[in-house]
Amino acid sequence: MKLCGAMALLLGVTMLVSGVVASARQSAAGGAAVEAGGPAVLSADAAMAALGRRLFYDGDLSIDGSMSCATCHGQRHGFAESNRSHPGVTDEPGRRNVQGLANVGRRHSLTWGDATIRTLEAQALVPLQGENPVEMGMKGQDAELARRLGANACYVRLFEAAFPDADGRIDLAGVTRALGAFQRTLVSDDAPADHFMRGDEGAISAEARIGAALFGQHCAACHAGLDYTDDRFHHVGAPDPRDRGLGEATGQARDDGRFRTPSLRNVAVSAPYFHDGGSPTLADAVRRHDMAFSEVEEAALIAWLTAMTDQSFLENPRFAYPDEPCEVE
Amino acid sequence: MALLLLSLALAAAATPPPTPFSSPASCPTTPIALPEELAPWTAAAPLAAAANVDALGTAPIAIGVATDLTLGKTGEVQYALRPERPGGSVSHGGMAQFTVTRAGLYRVALGNAAWLDVVADGKGLQSVAHGHGPDCSGIRKMVDFHLAPGDYLLQIAGSGTPVVRVLVASVPGK
C-alpha cells in the first residue's frame, strides 16, 4: 500500500519520537540501583514515579476520600472512562468527557479548553482544587492533604526518597510533581497501529489499512502524529451555550466552540467521545465530523481506530493499582 | 488540499449536546414515582455493615428491602477481595450478605457513588450494566448483575459518607 502524505508525515514523526519513548520506558522500568551488598535503592526519580502511582490511586486526594484520579482515569479504558462525564464529590455534574492518559507526557496542552495549562503539574490542580465544577473538592485543604499523607508511613518514606532536597516535605507541590512523574511513565507504543506505522503491514487487517489511508487523507491534519493529536484547539460545530470551550478561558468570542483535539490512542476502549461525551460509539464520533464517508469507508476507519488499542498498555501491571509493598523500606 | 482536509475534519457536529443531570435544587419536594423494582428505596431499616467476613452473619440484607448501612472506617475494614477502588483513609466501607433464590437480573442501588462488588465463591462478579438512578430519586448509582441462586457478599468501598442506603432488587422480567 502506498501511504498518502499525511501518513508519511506520521511515519517520520514515529522515527523522531521513538527515542523519546524508549527513554521514558527505560525510566519507568528502571530507576532502581543496587548498592554493592545492600538492598535496592530507588533513585529520586523512580521514587517520585512510585509515589505518584500510589497517589494516583488514593482516595485521600479527595475531600471525603471517595475519589482518586483513577476513579475517572481507569486503566482498562486507556485511563479514560465509559461515562459521558463524571460527577465530583459534591455530585455536581461533570462538564466534560474524561480524556485518556496514554503518552500524556508528550502533550503540549492538557485540557479540553484551556491552552494555558501546559504541564501535568498544573493540570492536576484542575480536578484536585477546581470549582467549575468541583471534582475532588480539595481547594483550601493543603494542610489536610499533608496530614492524611503524613499519617501513612509509606508516603513518608517515598516523599523522603523522592524529594531529598526538601527533606521529604509533604505538600501539594510534591503531590502534583509525583502525579506528573507517574503519568510520564504511561507510555503506549505497542498497538497494532504502532507496529504498522513502524513498517509491519501485517500488524493490521486489510480493512484497517484502507482505514489508515483514509485517516491520513481526511483526519490526520488535526489527529496528527504518533498520538493522533495536534494538541491544538479547533472549532467543532456551532458553539455550545453551556460550554464555550477555549473561549471560556480566554474570554475571546472567537475562541468559543474551540476544543483541543483529543488523542486517539486506545480510542476504541474509551467511549463515549467528544468533549461532551455526546457520541456513544466510534461510528457516532466519525459521523459527528460530518465528512460523508460511505459505509465501507466508515467501517475501514473504525477498523483503523480499533487498531490503535494497545492491549499491553491496558494490562500493564506497572500502571495498575499498587498492591505490592511499599517501594521504600 | 490541506486546508480543505482541515475544514472537513472540523466540520459541524451533528450530535446534540448532553442533557445535564437534575440537581437537588431542581427536584420536586414530593417524592418521585420509582420503577417497581426500586419502589422499596424510600423506606429503609438501619444495619451495621460487617467489617470482616467473620462478621457477615450480623449483616444480612434482603432482596427488595432498602437498608441504611452504617459503614466502618476504610482502614478498619478487611474486605473479602481488595476493591478496585478502596477509597482513602477518610472514607468508609463495609460488607453485607444476601441470598438469591431465583436466577435473574439483579440491580444494586446505592445512595452515593461508593465502589461496590458482588462476590461469590471468593470471586468478584462482572457487572452487566451500570448507571445513575432516576433523577431526584436519591439513587446515585445502580449496577446490574446476572445472579444464580446462592449466597452473595456485597462489598461497599470508598464511601464518602459513613451511612449509605443500599437496595438489592430483582429486575422484573429479566
Q: Give the pLDDT score at A29.
A: 37
A5: nearest CA in chain B? B2
Residue pair B172/B88 in contact (Cβ under 8 Å)? The answer is no
pLDDT confidence band for A34 (50 / 70 / 90) = very low
- Is B70 among the domain residues? yes
- The reported pLDDT for the residue numbered A47 is 97
Please tell me the distance in Å from B166's CA to the nearest CA on chain A. 17
Query: Is B85–A61 a contact, with Cβ atoms under 8 angstroms apart?
Result: no
pLDDT value for B31: 79
Pick B9's closest partner by Cβ from A71, A277, A289: A289
What pLDDT score was predicted for residue B108? 98
What is the residue-level pLDDT of chain B in tens, covering all 174 positions?
333 333 333 333 333 333 334 556 678 888 788 999 999 999 999 999 999 999 999 999 999 999 999 999 999 999 999 999 999 999 999 999 999 999 999 999 999 999 999 999 999 999 999 888 898 899 999 999 999 999 999 999 999 999 999 999 999 877
Chain B CA closest to residue A234 = B10
Nearest to A60 among B2, B84, B89 (CB): B89
Q: Which residues of A touch B114 (CB under 8 A)?
A: 66
Identify whether B18 is part of a domain: no
Give the domains, in start order, of chain A with CATH numbers: 5-24+191-228+263-309 (1.10.760.10), 32-187+314-319 (1.10.760.10)
Q: Cell numbers at residue B84, please? A: 478496585
Residue B142, domain extent: 42-170
| pLDDT over 70, % of chain A | 87
Residue B13 domain-assigned? no
Could you tell me which of A216, A191, A203, A152 has the C-alpha nearest to residue A2? A216
User: What CATH number is attached to the domain comprising B105?
Assistant: 2.60.120.380
User: Would the pLDDT of A24 be above 80?
Assistant: no
Asked if residue A292 has pLDDT above 80, the reply is: yes
Decide if B67 is inside a domain.
yes
Question: Is the residue at B147 inside a domain?
Answer: yes
Chain A positions in Cβ-Cβ contact with residue B159 (cut-off 8 Å)? 66
What's the confidence (pLDDT) of residue A39? 52
Q: In this complex, how many residue pairs, one in chain A and one in chain B, have their CB atoms less than 8 Å apart?
A: 121
Residues 6+ apart with CB under 8 A from A147: none
User: Mind listing the pLDDT tens digit for each residue in A198-218?
Assistant: 999 999 999 999 999 999 999
Pairwise CA distance, residues B89 & A58, whole Å:
9
Average pLDDT, chain A: 89
3-state class percentages of chain B: helix first, strand second, coil last, to nearest 5 = 15, 40, 45
Note whether A239 and A256 are within 8 A (CB). Answer: yes
Q: What is the pTM of this model?
A: 0.86
User: In this predicted model, what pLDDT tens digit does every residue of A79-127 receive, in sequence order?
Assistant: 999 888 988 999 888 889 999 999 999 999 999 999 999 999 999 999 9
Q: Tell me whether 0.85 is exceeded by the ipTM.
A: no
On whether any CB of chain B is under 8 Å from the CB of A9, the answer is: no
In the predicted model, what is the mean pLDDT of residues A257-286?
Answer: 95
Number of domains in chain B: 1
CB atoms B12 and A290 under 8 Å: yes
Higher pLDDT, A10 or B42: B42
